[in-house]
Structure 1
């Protein structure tokens, strides 16, 4: 226990009197009175210390619940278009394999797929890589020496805008490199140091598959450097510009770049090596391993939370709660645990898979989640839609014109009657004749606050009035995500409990300060009173001694 008694800093504790002529122990008397005055402050300090310990425990609870909430959110999807989502269920992966065991697919090409990309497979062959053109000059002895050339020349890449580079007689090869790079023509200049007395100007196209266009405008600097021959053609091409050539399912395709994102929807190809005789099989499918990892992260986070809960509920018969069980019997923790436990054991999903147990996730005797990896993997690879239904929000509508953008935690079915005016704008939206349930915001229909549809957002793209069936279901992760939201964050129950404790502790500390100051003031006044008493006793003793001397008597 922390004591608020700071009386050791006061001089009256270290003195037994003023003159020593009396037997009164002033310091002991004052200290006893001071301690008595501080007793209420010490009791408040005990409460403040207990609050600090509990606040720390709530902080630890917040950490494990926040981690659990993060893993739950990762498994939560919205009903929006797959291409607009970034949850694990919408993520797509590109898988590669080759027909030749001696060649790895990744050495020929790699690929990425955007979220929501439709699954499919293709056979590719890379016949030729795109290359960037390189042109060189004749060699000079010293790249820092003046070239003695005057004039200007034009420079461009492919169909790009030409830039003019001016050359003066005092410019060196190094200076010419700087001038070309400053022109911004899509061509990069550099010096190739062939030997100690031989250097060349090298011009490299910034983009593959495009040729460098250059010509002397005034003077003949490029011809003098040996970049152009007497006919104005490139004299020394180190590498020709080349198009990428590859096939997709036997169809030959040519592109100027080795990065290709306009052949297969949602897929970017990165060509890295020409292997004309090697078939590379490209398959785009959901990110199975990412989904499995997300589920494993959720299980690990829940088990960490459960470890914390069990520690807080540790109890020894005949003794009571363990020392570490700071939150033993705490109503907030018990309410949270009941919420989580009820959701974990609930029924979610479809008619094929409707619980965690169906995908190999069960509670053991210690209420820890365990995973049967074989069962989980089989469910993910064989019936991913049903696995997603266990965790995530799902929605269907009776018309392609109506999209559920956000289910908002709603679960159930209803028929939405949409009224569209002659000008194509939505003029009304109702359920069972009640037009107050949804608010109209352009093409968006937003569930009204305080109704069962609060949080639901629908988007209607039709041009005519319609009556459309809507069904929305919530999965374990989407339900738990909403539940944990009430406990986490700055406005959650846990943080509010911490703030309440901290506020109470601050009040305790203010009262402790007031009581301590009052006790110190009382002690000082009491000490002053005892000091006066001792002074009076000393004066009486002196008077007694004087009288004894006058009368010649001594009672001692």
Structure 2
């Protein structure tokens, strides 16, 4: 008998339909698992939407987390052509009159004409110094004129040899020093000239240029000495613009500054002068008004945006977690613990008091509150009043901030370990600079002779100088020579590369030159490492003289603090709190109120939620684990269904074969019976 290979052929039953219907019933657990997987995927997507809404909200929170934003001021000039004004956070509100009588300008010199940019200029060295030239021209006696070296500007020396002894080479060598002088070449029609300009304006930045000409003559108009310019001597360069200060009157007070950009007249205010004031009929300068007022518009806008962003965030959360009892519809995250935990964390953050470090303790104190639907509202009038009267305390309400009671203490930074509160600051020893005093010298004119008492070497803050040569000549006072020493030391290339500098002065009481590093702390030191043969006798400096500074020593909140220069870092409750101490005496330095405002706290809360091990990430990881488990269960169910279907098909195949056999037997029997009937009928005949 031929085997049956197609289901139902033997039995005549629609076996495929029967098995399909049976498998549909068997597959119900798999369908439920697939529905669970879709639900988990939908929740992951919903939490992604929640993450986006939370990140947007955090961005608005961050705009409120900087303390400086709350103390912004703006400046304005009634006559905007006179100049511009900008302010820093430490500016003070006020109104002033301003009249400008002279603008500052830089010293400029030009050389003689050369035939080409490659014309030779000679060899040797050129030294450029800065200082104040006082022209006593009205006396008619040039011998009365003076030039006082600017000790705050380092001298620079340029070497000219066979590799750069052209007009172009000299220009490039000067500019390569980047030390306060700019050199350019111009063609004025008669030839090429070298123009030298002090990079800084002001009388104290007049140029003095001396040369050590390889031809042996440092003052003639040949070789490198053609570029000499001594305000009191050889002037082989021509002055095209004299150095002068800006002159102006502020509330009737006459002020002179080296630059048209003035930063040190009004605290935190930068004036950029652009034009001299007009004159009235009496030839007096016409004053314009200068106003410094608090600018709270940016903060107010930021708070308004914060309120708006919070409400948008609340709306986003409601869209994901709502429940409508009328139609039983619900958001994807309705009842999900991630929503409850997030809302609880944010509400807890907003409801906490800020502690003793802050004057304001709640958002309601500045007009931020909540309505009966949980939305944030803002009373702009109340906020504006707080900003006008206590901007520092509004800053502390929102941002991480430190408010000090003593001007000698400045808040620098804090760490996550710093606790909020009001801490007393006590200084037992202020920071000092490395310094020393030389031996006593006569208080009178001092002569520096080349190769005799003109050389010294120093070490500053761990960096060693090269050989420092003082300019030969007679110095009318020790103070003038102190400026020369400071200029030459601070112009040393090795010290400049190490960002090391000194201050040199003459103490008329002790009769000694004094030298100190410009840095504070235990890393601050200065020492004489070498001198010329007669330098000790002239200057009172001897090898090995030196001094080392000390770090500030004190306590914050009664706990020992670590000093580093002028910076004091707290411990205990003030752990990580950094303060700059600028005072120079021991004693009590008031208090600092340290606070973590609501914006800062919210930022930390949101950052925690969005972190890799935070609330939302953990929920997503949990859902992904659910998906993985569902997938594993689905694979198991799928394999079981495959086995069930095989079993059903095997059973129906066996049934088919059995029925087919029975049908065949039935047919055979029917045939045999028919034959028997036929035989019986034939026998009867």
TM bucket (normalised to shorter chain) is 0.5 to 0.7
How much does 1:299 deviate? 0.6
Q: Would the aligned equivalents of 2:111 and 2:194 in 1 still touch at CA under 8 Å?
A: yes
How much does 1:288 deviate? 1.8
Q: Could you list the per-position Cα deviations for residues 100-144 of structure 1 after superposition, in whole angstroms to 9, with x for gaps in the alignment?
A: x4x117x52423324x5566665554443332333233455654x
Query: Does 1:192 find its partner at 2:186?
Result: yes
Aligned to 2:128: 156
With 16-25 and 262-271 compared, the bigger mean Cα shift is at: 16-25
Q: Would the aligned equivalents of 2:76 and 2:85 in 1 still touch at CA under 8 Å?
A: no
Aligned to 2:201: 208
Q: How many residues align?
A: 483
SS in 2 for 1:319: coil
How much does 1:161 deviate? 2.7
Pairs within 5 Å for 1:239-318: 239-275=241-277, 277-283=286-292, 285=294, 287-318=295-326
How much does 1:301 deviate? 1.5
With 514-523 and 156-165 compared, the bigger mean Cα shift is at: 514-523
SS in 1 for 2:287: strand
> Per the alignment, do residues 173 and 43 of structure 1 end up closer, same or farther by CA in structure 2, a change over 3 Å counting?
farther
SS in 1 for 2:111: strand
SS in 2 for 1:202: strand
Aligned to 1:11: none
Aligned-partner Cα distance in 2 for 1:193–1:382: 61
Structure 1 unaligned runs (5+)? 1-15, 77-85, 430-438, 448-453, 548-556
Pairs within 5 Å for 1:341-356: none
Query: Does 1:56 find its partner at 2:45?
Result: yes
Aligned to 1:377: 384
> Per the alignment, do residues 257 and 457 of structure 1 end up closer, same or farther by CA in structure 2, a change over 3 Å counting?
closer
Q: Would the aligned equivalents of 1:243 and 1:257 in 2 still touch at CA under 8 Å?
A: yes
How much does 1:501 deviate? 1.8
How much does 1:292 deviate? 1.1
> Per the alignment, do residues 34 and 222 of structure 1 end up closer, same or farther by CA in structure 2, a change over 3 Å counting?
farther
SS in 2 for 1:110: strand
How much does 1:251 deviate? 3.8
How much does 1:50 deviate? 1.5
Aligned-partner Cα distance in 1 for 2:124–2:586: 62
Q: Would the aligned equivalents of 2:107 and 2:198 in 1 still touch at CA under 8 Å?
A: yes
Aligned-partner Cα distance in 2 for 1:458–1:132: 41
Query: Does 1:218 find its partner at 2:214?
Result: yes
Query: Does 1:147 find its partner at 2:156?
Result: no
Larger radius of gyration: 2
How much does 1:302 deviate? 0.8
Query: Does 1:93 find its partner at 2:72?
Result: yes
Q: Would the aligned equivalents of 1:155 and 1:185 in 2 still touch at CA under 8 Å?
A: no
Aligned-partner Cα distance in 2 for 1:67–1:308: 11
Aligned-partner Cα distance in 2 for 1:108–1:19: 99
SS in 2 for 1:508: helix
> Per the alignment, do residues 35 and 182 of structure 1 end up closer, same or farther by CA in structure 2, a change over 3 Å counting?
farther
Aligned to 1:104: 80
With 204-213 and 399-408 compared, the bigger mean Cα shift is at: 399-408
> Per the alignment, do residues 178 and 457 of structure 1 end up closer, same or farther by CA in structure 2, a change over 3 Å counting?
closer
SS in 2 for 1:178: helix
With 403-412 and 483-492 compared, the bigger mean Cα shift is at: 403-412
Aligned to 2:339: 333
Aligned-partner Cα distance in 1 for 2:373–2:270: 47
Aligned-partner Cα distance in 2 for 1:458–1:164: 43
> Per the alignment, do residues 343 and 141 of structure 1 end up closer, same or farther by CA in structure 2, a change over 3 Å counting?
same
Pairs within 5 Å for 1:412-423: none
Aligned to 1:177: 171
How much does 1:409 deviate? 10
How much does 1:313 deviate? 4.3
> Per the alignment, do residues 281 and 471 of structure 1 end up closer, same or farther by CA in structure 2, a change over 3 Å counting?
closer
RMSD: 5.9
SS in 1 for 2:176: helix
> Per the alignment, do residues 32 and 380 of structure 1 end up closer, same or farther by CA in structure 2, a change over 3 Å counting?
same
Q: Would the aligned equivalents of 1:260 and 1:270 in 2 still touch at CA under 8 Å?
A: yes
Aligned-partner Cα distance in 2 for 1:108–1:87: 29
How much does 1:61 deviate? 2.1
Q: Normalising to structure 1: TM-score of the pair?
A: 0.63
Q: Would the aligned equivalents of 2:104 and 2:245 in 1 still touch at CA under 8 Å?
A: yes
> Per the alignment, do residues 250 and 25 of structure 1 end up closer, same or farther by CA in structure 2, a change over 3 Å counting?
farther
Q: Could you list the per-position Cα deviations for residues 38-78 of structure 1 after superposition, in whole angstroms to 9, with x for gaps in the alignment?
A: 654443332222122212222322333344345446546xx
Aligned to 1:446: 572
Query: Does 1:507 find its partner at 2:496?
Result: no
SS in 1 for 2:72: strand
With 389-398 and 303-312 compared, the bigger mean Cα shift is at: 389-398
Q: Could you list the per-position Cα deviations for residues 499-546 of structure 1 after superposition, in whole angstroms to 9, with x for gaps in the alignment?
A: 2222322333344455556767887x7799799989x99xx9xx99xx
Aligned-partner Cα distance in 1 for 2:176–2:419: 60
Structure 2 unaligned runs (5+)? 131-152, 216-221, 278-284, 429-552, 563-568, 669-685
SS in 1 for 2:200: coil
Aligned to 1:133: 107
Aligned to 2:539: none
How much does 1:386 deviate? 7.1
SS in 2 for 1:327: coil
